[in-house]
Amino acid sequence: MISVINYCWSNSNSNTLLLKKKEEVVQFSDIPGTPSFKYEHLPSLILRYKESGPESEFVRESFISNAASWGFILNTCKALDGPYLDHVRAEFGGNQKVFAVGPLSSIRVDANLDGGSDVLRWLDKLEEDGSVLYVCFGSQKLLRRDQMEALAFGLERSGTPFVWVVKGPSTAEPSEEGYGLVLEGFEDRVSGRGIVVRGWAPQMAILGHRVVGGFLSHCGWNSVLEAVVAGVGILGWPMEADQFVNARLLVEDMGVAVRVCEGADSVPDPDVLGRVVSGVMSGDSPQKRRAKLMREEAVGAVSKGGVSSKELDELIQVLKQLGVKEGS
Q: What is the CATH number of the domain that holds 185?
A: 3.40.50.2000
User: Cα Rg for the chain, rounded, in angstroms?
Assistant: 21
Q: Examine residue 9 and state whether it is found in any structural domain, yes or no.
A: yes
55 and 124, same domain (yes or no): no
Task: Give Cα 191 distance to the centre of its chain.
Answer: 29
Instruction: Kindly tell me the sign of the dihedral angle through the C-alpha atoms of 118, 120, 125, 131.
Output: positive
Q: Calculate the alpha carbon distances from 43 to 37, 142, 250 in Å.
A: 10, 19, 16
76 and 139, same domain (yes or no): no
- C-alpha to C-alpha distance for 256 and 244, rounded to whole angstroms: 15
Cβ proximity of 247 and 219 under 8 Å: yes
Cβ proximity of 200 and 167 under 8 Å: no
Q: For 97-210, where are the alpha helices, taking DSSP H only?
A: 118-124, 145-158, 186-189, 203-207
Last residue of a domain, which of 48, 72, 100? Answer: 100
130 and 217, same domain (yes or no): yes
Q: Examine residue 234 and state whether it is found in any structural domain, yes or no.
A: yes
Other C-beta atoms closer than 10 Å to the C-beta of 76 total 25
With a cut of 50, list the residues of the chain below it in pLDDT: 14-15, 18-19, 109-113, 115
Domain around 48? 2-100
pLDDT for position 220: 96
58 and 141, same domain (yes or no): no
**pLDDT tens profile 136-194:** 998 878 899 999 999 999 999 999 999 999 987 765 555 556 788 899 999 999 999 99
- Long-range (24+ apart) CB contacts under 8 A made by 283-288 are 285/233, 286/255, 287/214, 287/233, 287/234, 287/255, 287/256, 287/257, 287/258, 288/130, 288/213, 288/214, 288/232, 288/233
142 and 239, same domain (yes or no): yes
pLDDT for position 133: 98
pLDDT for position 171: 56
Q: Calculate the alpha carbon distances from 46 to 41, 56, 240 in Å.
A: 10, 9, 11
How many separate domains does the chain show?
Answer: 2
pLDDT for position 110: 45
pLDDT for position 314: 94
Cis peptide before 103 (omega within 30 of 0): yes
- C-alpha to C-alpha distance for 253 and 89, rounded to whole angstroms: 20
90 and 142, same domain (yes or no): no
Q: Examine residue 319 and state whether it is found in any structural domain, yes or no.
A: no
Cβ proximity of 64 and 2 under 8 Å: no
Q: Calculate the alpha carbon distances from 317 to 60, 73, 74, 305, 322 in Å.
A: 32, 14, 17, 16, 9
Cβ proximity of 28 and 20 under 8 Å: no
List 257's β-bridge partners, or say none: 234
Last residue of a domain, which of 77, 100, 123? Answer: 100
